[in-house]
Structure 1
Amino acid sequence: MSTTADRLTTLFTDTLGVELPVRIRAWDGSEAGPPDAPVLALRKRRALRRLLWRPDELGLGRAWVSGDLDVEGDLYDALHRFDRLAAQLSDVKVPVREVLKAAVGLRLAGPPPRPPAEEARAVAGAGSRHSKARDAAAISHHYDVGNRFYELVLGPSMTYSCAYWGADRRPGDLAAAQAAKFDLVCRKLDLKPGQRLLDVGCGWGSMAVHAAREYGVSVTGVTLSKEQAAYGRKRVAEEGLAERVDIRVQDYRDVADGPYDAVSSIGMAEHVGASQYRVYCADLFRLLRPQGRLLNHQIARRPDHRGGNGKREPYHLNKFIAGYVFPDGELAPLAGTAALLEEAGFEVRDVQALREHYALTLREWVANLREHWDEAVRLTSPGRARVWHLYMAASAVSFETNRLGVNQVLAVRPDASGASAMPLVRNY
């Protein structure tokens, strides 16, 4: 007599025509599938009900966040296997009638389960997409979960963007790699003592402190997160930099005290959105003096070459990340970003891809979370910690498989004659 796990693996193989790349453990303890593969543990029948009602990343994410579904073994291995499976299934038409028939046999009928409390449902009620009020609500959902939680995950640098690793990269060197990233940005901007730097999306003040302390510039940092701003101000005071660093809770669209000699935007533009990207570029251009430089450090969505019908929306995040991590976040292709910067009047001078660096950074963050798991759960919730675990591990795999990229784009505002005062060779 076949077990529940046997029935599930057979259903998958027969209806979709591909082998399941992981081992299944059903809620009744039965197992089936490759013996040496990671185990997909369906802890509750409800996990399949969630997937039946939402057969996509959101349904899978809801099952994971609620604890109805888990992975035993190497999570990265499992995610790589699922990524290859998604490529195999990109052109497969799901036989809905067969799936529904199997669902009745497995007693999966009933209304959709309530989504976990960690889902960002309230953001949609905060106004139109990428209005100032809704952007503030989206940022609050992601960042205002407690600075101590971020300290556990990000480490002492409190830097939530891709680090810059040397050729001798060693695990545990995250703080040094983040400092190297900030130094790379400062050198690209050619910062000099006495200059004014605007740091857009300044986070917890890490770039502002580094630039002021190491390069002698005056920095204005803006963020929409009140918790980030409070943390950054305290940090600035402890460093003795209060006269040179001003951390504000302010939308970048409301900054009016230019011109600045340089602008850094590190991991912030992903929140801007396609509808506001021209405004973003125009505002940063307006805030720079002639011959001033912009360093835009931004995740890019790579083209999907895995097949399929080609109807993918290039700016939108997958449904799990949009629902639980970055509400309203949008990823632009690199070419689109460069084109809009040029349209605003910038001259793009240099592009550096850091894709592999972000995969390494994310693995460090996942290791930090796992090391401090119990405290992370206590500070937030079991569901919130699970959101971060899956989001960061899956993102690492997306960078490793070239589904996502991240790039530093150096641009300059030419003066009236068209001159940019850039060196003939890269000197950073």
Structure 2
Amino acid sequence: MVFPLRLRRRGGNKKEIIPVMCDSEIEIMIPAQFRCPISFDLMKDPVIMASGITYDRESIEKWIESGNKTCPVTNTVLKTFEQIPNHAIRKVIQDWCVEMGSNSGIQRIPTPRVPVTPQDASEICGKLLAAARRGDHQKCGEVVGKIKNLGKESERNKKCLRENGVGLALCVCFDAFVCSENAFLLEEVLSVLTWMFPIGSEGQTKITSAASLRCLAGFLRSMDDSVRRNAAFLLKELLASDETHVVTLAGVDGVAEAFVKLIRDALCVSSTKSSLTAIYHMISNNPKMVSKFLETGLVNLAVEIIVDAEKSLCEKALAVLDAICETREGKEEIGKNALVMPLLVKKMPKISELATMSSVSVIWKLCKTENAATAIEEAVRMGAFQKLLVVLQVGCRGGTKEKATELLKMMNPHVGKLEVGCVDSSMDFKYLKKPF
């Protein structure tokens, strides 16, 4: 059992140790030299800075990453940010933990691993690239496994590897073996690439070859859910960065069904977000994909998400509906769903500005179809006229203001003639700006 060790200030800068009682009512006092001068917590990985002061590595790194260039204690400018492990104090702290543990249950602080350096990252890149050129999949697997383990150790390691070209080396490796039957190696590379973004233009060139994109699309249908999640994330990032990849991906059989199935399976929120974002980019940049996604039941699925999903998911589902509405068949399919109009009206302007923009856009597109009169009357009955007034009062960007204004003109002749029901009384026009 581990007990929290806390400190508080009393009178100026004087620090007082707060004893923590264990089950046997033994007070635990942290020696001052064991505490980090920044966090006042027990140091787990003590390091010495150029000023000669010892800090916990995590605390001093956060201090430096925040833009500070001075020593927190001495306030002198640090000539170098090199962190030298203080093995002596760490050993003393570990011995103290062992001594206290016999009575209080305090666990011994594990010996920290040496963080990855830029030189280490460069050596890893060299080994991986050399093995990829030789076609040595076994050696590549060993290096990728090492990268994966280093990343698990700390976020600092991930950052160092990411900033020193490891992402590019992984993309080269993926592209080199994409036509092989070594699926395990490709899956391992894929899992590491998820925390390597941004990978740079050169890395994207390698990972977005026609063969690589087809392979990633194939991973969407994997029996391993983690592989499916990773593939969706990577495709989402690639499609967002360059719309030209949509053409290649659109030619892969079953890619639409794979994305929609990933959403329907609801593995996790992140996989649903990745899939919705990827679908949005595919439909926006290639309207011909709409018919394929309509066949999968995407409209009804997006509506289900909008009903009770959290903000970010709701925004993405609304954006997908807006993209689908760019085509005639898309508007017809959306118009068939009886829940669409009530939901669109309800979401204005409660969720967010992005959600409101998409909602207004979808309503505007539905009200400009062959069945415009029916859509307009339904929108008025749902209370859209009042909500659009609120949207204009709150303020909106892009073309939302113009669309809202045009909708109000369309709806105005019907206001008063139709019985308005289902108006969201919780709005109570609380968003309206006062005229004075």
TM-score range, shorter chain: under 0.3
Which structure has the highest helix share of the two?
2
What is the TM-score of this pair, normalised by structure 1?
0.27
Higher relative contact order (CA 8 A, sep 6+): 1
Which structure has the highest strand share of the two?
1
Kindly name which structure, 1 or 2, has the bigger radius of gyration based on alpha carbons: 2
